[in-house]
Structure 1
C-alpha cells in the first residue's frame, strides 16, 4: 500500500472511537507522517474542535447522509467504523464507496467494524446461566445468528463484501466495554455507568431478575489494541488474520454474573458513602424504565458468552488479561466519571436502532 495510507474513522466523539483516535495519534506511523486520518463528525462545533485541537481532517455529516458517507469511503484505504453497530444504512454506504474505489483502482479497502456480543444474547432475564460459549476459530455459530437480530445486519453486509473481495473486512465483537476512554468527548461506556447511576437513583445496587446470567468484558484500551493488530496485519505483506466467512473476532477477557457485578458495585459505592447499603437486590418491574430503560433485559439480564481465539493466535496481548479482575477494579474510576458527567445522564444507546434490531 502506498504511503501515507488514508484512514476514515467514525465515532471519534464517542467512547470507543475517541480512544481509537487518541491511540492513532500516538502511533509511530502517524508521527512519521505515514498516516492521514479523516474523521466523520456530526456537528460543526465538535468537528472544528477535533480539527483544530488534534490536527486531523474532518468531514461534517450524520451517518444518515449516505452520499457524503459514500464519497468519504471511496477516497480512503482504511475504514475504521466505531460509530454505531446498528445503522446498516451507513455501513452499506461505506461499502458502496469501497466498491467504487475497487472498481476504479483494483485496490481492496481494509474495513474494521466495531460490532458487539449483543448479537449473541438470549432472553434469560437473569434467570439462568447458559453454558454455551461462542468461539471464533470457526465462525459458523456466529453466522447462524439471524441477520434481523441486534448488530447482525451490518455484520453480514461486511462479511459478504469480504467474500466478494472488494474489501478486506474484520468484524470485531467486544462484550461489555469498561475503562476510561481517552477521546476528546465521551469517555465512558454504557453498561457499568448505567448500573452505577441506577444504584445512586435507587440508593441500592440492582440486577435484573436473579442476576444469574453471564457476560464478558474487555477494557477499551485492549479492544483498541485489537483494531490495530488487525490493521497492521492487513497492511503487512504476510497477512494472517482471516477475513471473508471467518471475519468475526471475539475479544473477551473478563467473565462475570450480573449479580456478581451488582454486588461489587454495591460494595464499592457503599464504601464511598454513596449508597446506604452494600447489598444488591433484584430490580422491581416498576423501576425498570427509570433505572435502566426498556432494553434492560437485553443489556443487563441476558447471557452473552464468548471466548477470544483468533486474536490470541495473532499475538494479541491485552493489558487486562483473563482473571485480572480488571472489570471490577474499574468501578471506582467509572463512579468518578459518572459524578463528573452527571449522575442523572441517560444511558448511551442508539435507542431507535436498538428498538428496530430487537423487533420493538
Structure 2
C-alpha cells in the first residue's frame, strides 16, 4: 500500500514510517520544511497541516493514512481537527484506513484497575479537546477509521520522559534528577518501535471503527525511572513540587502526575501485536 504519515520527524511518525517500510509499504511523510531528516526509503512531503485542504490532493493518491503529527502546543487540538476533517472528507465512501493518534491520557487516573478501550474518559486539560475528535471519528460511519491510544512513548532518547528526567545542576556543584510530585504514580509506557509495529498492523488489518490501547502491560513507577537515571549519571533523585514544576511545564504537570495502569490485550489478541523492545528502565540505564 501507499501510506501517508503525518509528522514524519516526530517520535511516533518516524517509527510508524520505518515499520511500514520494513513491511514493504510505500510511505509518503509530511515534514514542516525541506531538508528535515526522514527515515530511509520515505518520500518527504512539505506541508502546513494547519492550512485548509493541505493534504486533500495527496489523500486522493494514497491507500491509507496515519495521523501522528502534533504541534505540541496550545494549537494541538486545532491541528487534529484540521487533519481529521481533511481525511474524513477525502476517504468518505472508500475502504481506505485512516489511523488517528489519540492517547492513554484520555482515561485520566486509573488506579489499580487496568484501563481498557472501554474505560471512561477523564482527560487532563492538556488533551481536553481529544474526546470530541474521537467522537468525530466514531460518527464517521462511511470512513474506515482506527484510533490508537499510546501510553508515554520512549525510545532513542526521544519523547517526554528523557526531557522531564534529564539531569540538572543542583546549585551545589552536583546533579539532580527531579520527578514531579513524590514519584509514587505510575506511567504506562510503550517503545516507539513497538508502537510503529502496531500502527502498521492496524493499517493492514484493523477493522473499521476499531480502537486500541498501546502500552506494555507492566507500568513503571515514576520514582523508579528517575532513580535509574540518577544512578547512571551520579545524581540524586528528588521530589519536585508540582507548583514549582508548573513554571516549566505548565499544563503538562497535571498529565505527568497521572497514575495509569492499562492493558493492550485487545491489540495483542486482534492484531497479533507482540511488543519486544527493551523495557523503559533498561533503556534509561543503558542509553
Q: TM-score, normalised by structure 2?
A: 0.83
Q: Unaligned regions of 5+ residues in structure 1, if any? A: 123-128, 181-186, 234-240, 335-360
| Unpaired stretches in structure 2, ≥5 consecutive residues | none
Give 2:33's aligned residue: 43
Asked if 1 retains the 8 angstrom alpha-carbon contact of 2:49 and 2:83, the reply is no
The structure carrying a bigger strand percent of its residues is 2
- Bigger proportion of residues as helix: 1
1:250 aligns with 2:234: no
Q: Secondary structure of the equivalent of 1:205?
A: strand
Aligned CA RMSD, in angstroms, stands at: 2.9
The answer to whether 1:12 aligns with 2:8 is: yes
Equivalent position of 2:168 in the other structure:
200
- Partner of 1:206: helix, strand, or coil? strand
Name the SS for the 2:97 alignment partner.
strand
After superposition, the Cα gap between the structure-2 partners of 1:286 and 1:306, relative to the gap in structure 1 and judged at 3 Å, is closer
**Alignment partners' CA distance in 2, 1:217 and 1:257:** 11
Q: 1:318, 1:160 → 2: CA distance?
A: 31
Give the direction of change, closer, same or farther, for the CA distance of 1:285–1:17 in structure 2 (3 Å limit): closer
TM-score, scaled relative to structure 1: 0.68
Contact 1:92 1:157 in 2 (8 A): no
Distance 1:285 1:59, change over 3 A: closer
1:298 maps to 254
Matches within 5 A, 1:1-360: 5-27=1-23, 29-30=24-25, 35=26, 37-46=27-36, 50=38, 54=40, 56-84=42-70, 87-102=76-91, 106-122=93-109, 130-136=111-117, 139=118, 141-142=119-120, 149=128, 151-161=130-140, 164-165=141-142, 167-180=143-156, 188-191=158-161, 193-197=162-166, 199-202=167-170, 203-233=175-205, 241-244=206-209, 247-253=210-216, 254-270=218-234, 275=235, 277=236, 280-284=237-241, 287-289=244-246, 292-314=248-270, 315-320=272-277, 326-334=279-287
Deviation string, structure 1 residues 266-299 (Cα, Å, up to 9, x no partner): 22222xxxx3x4xx22113574256x52235323
